[in-house]
Chain A
Amino acid sequence: MTRTNVLRVVWIMVVAALLGGAYAIVVRNGPSGSMSTSSVPIH
């Protein structure tokens, strides 16, 4: 494998890890969804 291809593979792995990690964090800590008007309490 050429040096360029190694760099490409590393790049793809880094980006995939970032996107996958972000997905895991969003699933765990992400927004719980905006409230619908019908469920907005006053207090």
Chain B
Amino acid sequence: MPSTDRLHHAARRSLASVVLAAVAITVNHLYSLGPKALLLGAVLVVLPTALLIWFRQTRNRVALAAYAAMNVWIVVGFGFYKGVWAGIMRLFMGTALASLSTSFPKPAVGRYGFEASGILMAVAAVFVAYYAIELIRAALASPTISDADARDAPRSARWTSYAGVGGALAAAAMIAAWVVADRDTFVPPVNGVVTIGVIAPVTGPYAILGNSFVKAVQIARDDATGTKYRYELRIEDSGPDPSLAAAHVRKVVQDDKVDAVIGAVSLIGQVTKPFATKARIPHLCVCTVAPIGDGAYNFTNIPSPEAEAVHWVAEARRRGIQTIGIVQQDYPSINNHVNAMKAEAARRGLRVVYDNRFSDTVTDFRATVAAAAALRADVYYVEGLAPQLDVLAQQLAEAGVRNIASVVAPSLSEKPWLFEGAWYTDSDLSDMAFKRRFEAKYPGTQFATHMMPYAYDSFNMIVQAYEQGVNPAVYVRNVRRYEGVAGTVTKKPGSGNFESAPTVWTISNGQPTLLRDAPASLQAKRIDR
């Protein structure tokens, strides 16, 4: 083939491989950049095309060098780093290693389109590299290139063998590098100080929960005496708005480089999750959204709405309840509780005879209460957030409705005496001394039972990891059963969700009281028919 023809042939093939790689790169980056990926794709197609046209018309070596540089960017940046190292190696080696040992994290796995386009990005880059070399050889070839081809022929088999051996060695080196880089090992804390980030919203609608949460961790820290290392807290108010929380999380995880994070509330936990994964530190989220717990660096630790529902319905059945009236605020967490309760109630043969969902603007519940009371349900499931929760409780009391039950809500009430005699499920407290100590230490802070024992136990898991000289993420991955102030929590192998059982509480003498510790009259209460 004449050298000019060979050059055009190589150029066409090179450009075709670049365009195909650009398509794979664009699709892959649509998942992370959104429509901006189209701009990236346009740059990857238009720029090499323009450079190649320039080279074709002028034979300018700068054009060829710039085209080669674009190819290097595609091959090294997208093909090797993103496609092979962060794509194929993460997906296949990461998954294989995680299945063999908990020292390796389960890799984050994206949608199939993302993963497949990552693989195709790597494959296309091989062609880009091959045809770029062909093009450069053709461009630099002498006019007697055909003769040169003939001389190269016997060498080609030898080069293929060299390439094969070299490729195998490179692959082995890459696998070894991945094994070393992917493994989570214990690193003794600098100056013997372990810094634990505590990220929770302590203002807005979460003030009661968030403040209780933070103080529970502070008590856990104060209780951690006689330890090998010193444990310090880096407390950060994330605020209630998840769209603004990322800046707070970044400050704690990236800037202050904490060794672990204990977080509260799912909305904030979702924001914290990618930061913890990137920093490769454990994030124990006292929150209910199961997907946050990936079992690699992120773990959830609180009873699920389903667990609350099972215990709620069991208690209802124990009391002889057959019919339920529901008055609930339209709020995501509450909807979750109610949906789980309804499903479990239906499964166990209980009937919902009244179902009212109110918005957060309602302040007069008298018509709702009258309509509900008229149906004479065996129990009224009431759940809302302060201040409406207390307004509703007040108007229920005024209407003489006392057969009230709930999930969690009365423990978040600022006027719990309005719920006198009501029963509800909430987190267990195996050690009531914890509550007494809390109230003695923080007399001005309401003890909101729901998240506190899990915050306390989560802190202690991190402490135990360091005291035993184990990487904290690996330690938490390995926990199958933990006995703490929240009672027994368990975790299945590979899971990122600790499972625990709530228990039944009641309001006795205006105070949340474990039903098992309440007066016998409250414990044995059954429906009179």
Q: Which residues of A contact B511 (CB under 8 A)?
A: none
Q: Select one of B116, B302, B333, B336 contacting A19, CB under 8 A.
A: B116
Give B252-292 as 1s and 0s: 1 = Cβ < 8 Å from A's Cβ atoms: 00000000000011110010000000000000001111110
Q: Which residues of B contact A30 (CB under 8 A)?
A: 109-112
B302, A26: Cβ atoms under 8 Å? no
The A interface, classified by DSSP as helix, strand, loop or mixed, is helix
A29, B106: Cβ atoms under 8 Å? yes
A31, B109: Cβ atoms under 8 Å? yes
Best-buried of B92, B106, B451 by chain A (most CB within 10 Å): B92
A26, B333: Cβ atoms under 8 Å? no
- Number of residue pairs spanning A and B whose beta carbons lie under 8 angstroms apart: 85
Interface positions, chain A 19-35, Cβ under 8 Å from B, are 19, 21-23, 25-26, 29-33, 35
Interface positions, chain B 83-136, Cβ under 8 Å from A, are 88, 91-92, 95, 106-107, 109-112, 115-116, 119-120, 123
B91, A22: Cβ atoms under 8 Å? yes
Known A-B contacts A22-B116, A29-B109, A31-B111; the reply to A43 vs B288 at CB < 8 A is yes
Distance between Cα atoms of A42 and B91 in the complex (Å): 32
Count class of interface residues, chain A? 20 to 34
Chain B residue nearest in CB terms to A34: B291
Distance between Cα atoms of A39 and B292 in the complex (Å): 13
Give A1-36 as 1s and 0s: 1 = Cβ < 8 Å from B's Cβ atoms: 000000000000001001101110110011111010
Q: Select one of B88, B106, B265, B287 contacting A18, CB under 8 A.
A: B88
B119, A25: Cβ atoms under 8 Å? no
Distance between Cα atoms of A19 and B115 in the complex (Å): 8
A18, B266: Cβ atoms under 8 Å? no
Best-buried of A29, A41, A42, A43 by chain B (most CB within 10 Å): A43
Distance between Cα atoms of A29 and B108 in the complex (Å): 8
A19, B91: Cβ atoms under 8 Å? no
Q: Which residues of B contact A25 (CB under 8 A)?
A: 91-92, 95, 109, 115
Distance between Cα atoms of A39 and B340 in the complex (Å): 11
Say how far A14's CB is from chain B's closest CB, in angstroms. 8
Best-buried of B209, B265, B266, B451 by chain A (most CB within 10 Å): B266
Distance between Cα atoms of A35 and B332 in the complex (Å): 11
Say how far B323's CB is from chain A's closest CB, in angstroms. 26
Q: Which residues of B contact A33 (CB under 8 A)?
A: 291
Q: Which residues of B contact A41 (CB under 8 A)?
A: 266, 287-289, 305, 332-333, 336
Q: Which A residues have a C-beta under 8 Å from some C-beta of B?
A: 15, 18-19, 21-23, 25-26, 29-33, 35, 37-43
